[in-house]
Amino acid sequence: MNATLKAEEQNQLQLVEREDVDAEEDLFEAIDKLINQGINAGDVKKLQDAGIYTCNGLMMHTRKSLTGIKGLSEAKVEKICEAAEKIVNFGYITGSDALLKRKSVIKITTGSQALDELLGGGIETGAITEAFGEFRCGKTQLAHTLCVSTQLPTNMRGGNGKVAFIDTEGTFRPDRIVPIAERFGMDAGAVLDNIIYARAYTYEHQYNLLLGLAAKMSEEPFKLLIVDSIIALFRVDFTGRGELADRQQKLGQMLSRLIKIAEEFNVAVYLTNQVIADPGGGVFISDPKKPAGGHVLAHAVTIRLMFRKGKGEQRVCKVFDAPNLPEAEAISLTLPY
């Protein structure tokens, strides 16, 4: 009896994996397909060296940035773009087609029923979710939980995919993954093997790590990218008002790259963000704070969540901004340790 149940479970998991693979094939077109359109294999290799592994990703670059790749002239770039346009449709689609495309979005459980209900099912793929708040309010803990829940099968409200974790503050703890994996009934060793981790020390290093992800995501089924935190290195590497404009420009470029990764590979991007004091917050607010990063970050992210401490181990999450969720709805949750 047990053997039959196990066999059924394995078949079910294999079926889920096969369905995901079929769906992934429709999401992006490999850059190698340009060779069939008459593009030189050497030029395709140059695109891959620059971190462009799909035709979809190629169409997200300007011709100016493509001509900046060593060995690609304006004439070559024009020919490459024309070939890519034949493979990928980047024009108008109907609202019905857009709705159909939204069906590929996966909601990944956060491990907290209350938080899942607030988010309409969980963290969305193809979008950027930002969690901001002061220290010790649950942002990184949620990141660790998502590292595990993303690997659950889709029929168990997971993403059935791997996780990439970029750590800018030294907060990733693999030993924390073990009890979380056990809570979900998963093998801790296998879960850790499906997480790729990198520690970033400068904002340039952080950006280069993002460029290197395209190669991995085009070959393996990733479903979550975590950056903890997005702003920390920018606050260190750029100081004073004199460098603020340059900082915001570089931050905008990094966020643009994250949006492209989310949409190109249908992965969920989860960012943690710090807060800054807001002296103009008003006399009636006892401890006014606002998220760091300014308007550049505010406009780039899809869903913004505000975390704050509640009583004891409780944390309060509030939807600060979202295109498809009710705003200013607050809940209390106990973090799943």
Q: What is residue 283's predicted lDDT score, i.e. its pLDDT?
A: 53
If we measure between CA atoms, which residue out of 278, 314, 321 comes closest to residue 114?
314
| Residue 201 CA: distances (Å) to CA of 68, 168, 189, 325 | 26, 6, 27, 35
Q: What is residue 40's predicted lDDT score, i.e. its pLDDT?
A: 87
Q: What is residue 11's predicted lDDT score, i.e. its pLDDT?
A: 38
Q: Which helix (H) or strand (E) holds 274?
A: none
Query: What tens digit of pLDDT does each residue of 159-207 get?
Result: 999 999 999 999 999 999 999 999 998 999 999 999 999 999 999 999 9
Average pLDDT rounded to a whole number, residues 207-233 = 90
- Choose between 321 and 107: higher pLDDT: 107
Give 277-311 as a DSSP string.
E-GGG-TT-SS-EEETTHHHHHHH-SEEEEEEE-S
Angstrom distance (rounded) from CA 56 to CA 211: 15
Kindly tell me if the per-residue pLDDT of 269 is higher than 50.
yes
Kindly tell me if the per-residue pLDDT of 28 is higher than 80.
no
The rounded percent of the chain whose pLDDT value lies above 90 is 36
Kindly tell me if the per-residue pLDDT of 137 is higher than 60.
yes
Kindly tell me if the per-residue pLDDT of 280 is higher than 70.
no
Under the banding of pLDDT at 50, 70 and 90, the label for residue 128 is very high
Kindly tell me if the per-residue pLDDT of 18 is higher than 50.
no
The rounded percent of the chain whose pLDDT value lies above 70 is 86
Query: What tens digit of pLDDT does each residue of 306-325 get?
Result: 888 877 777 888 888 888 88
Kindly tell me if the per-residue pLDDT of 111 is higher than 70.
yes
Q: What is residue 262's predicted lDDT score, i.e. its pLDDT?
A: 92
- Choose between 92 and 22: higher pLDDT: 92
Rg (CA), the chain: 21
Q: What is residue 13's predicted lDDT score, i.e. its pLDDT?
A: 41
Q: What is residue 224's predicted lDDT score, i.e. its pLDDT?
A: 95
Query: What tens digit of pLDDT does each residue of 77-102 get?
Result: 899 998 888 888 888 889 998 888 88
Torsion of CA 291, 294, 295, 296, to 10 degrees: -110
Q: What is residue 10's predicted lDDT score, i.e. its pLDDT?
A: 41
Query: What tens digit of pLDDT does each residue of 236-247 get?
Result: 999 888 899 999
Under the banding of pLDDT at 50, 70 and 90, the label for residue 225 is very high
| Residue 275 CA: distances (Å) to CA of 134, 144, 206 | 6, 20, 20
Average pLDDT rounded to a whole number, residues 134-161 = 90
* Residues sharing a CB contact under 8 Å with residue 76, sequence separation 6 or more, in sequence order: 43
Kindly tell me if the per-residue pLDDT of 148 is higher than 90.
yes
Angstrom distance (rounded) from CA 66 to CA 31: 14
Sketch out the chain's domains with CATH numbers: 31-87 (1.10.150.20), 101-332 (3.40.50.300)
Kindly tell me if the per-residue pLDDT of 23 is higher than 50.
no
If we measure between CA atoms, which residue out of 132, 120, 128 comes closest to residue 317?
132
Q: What is residue 272's predicted lDDT score, i.e. its pLDDT?
A: 92
Kindly tell me if the per-residue pLDDT of 127 is higher than 90.
yes
User: Comparing 10-14, 35-39, 296-300, 312-316, which segment has the lowest mean pLDDT?
Assistant: 10-14
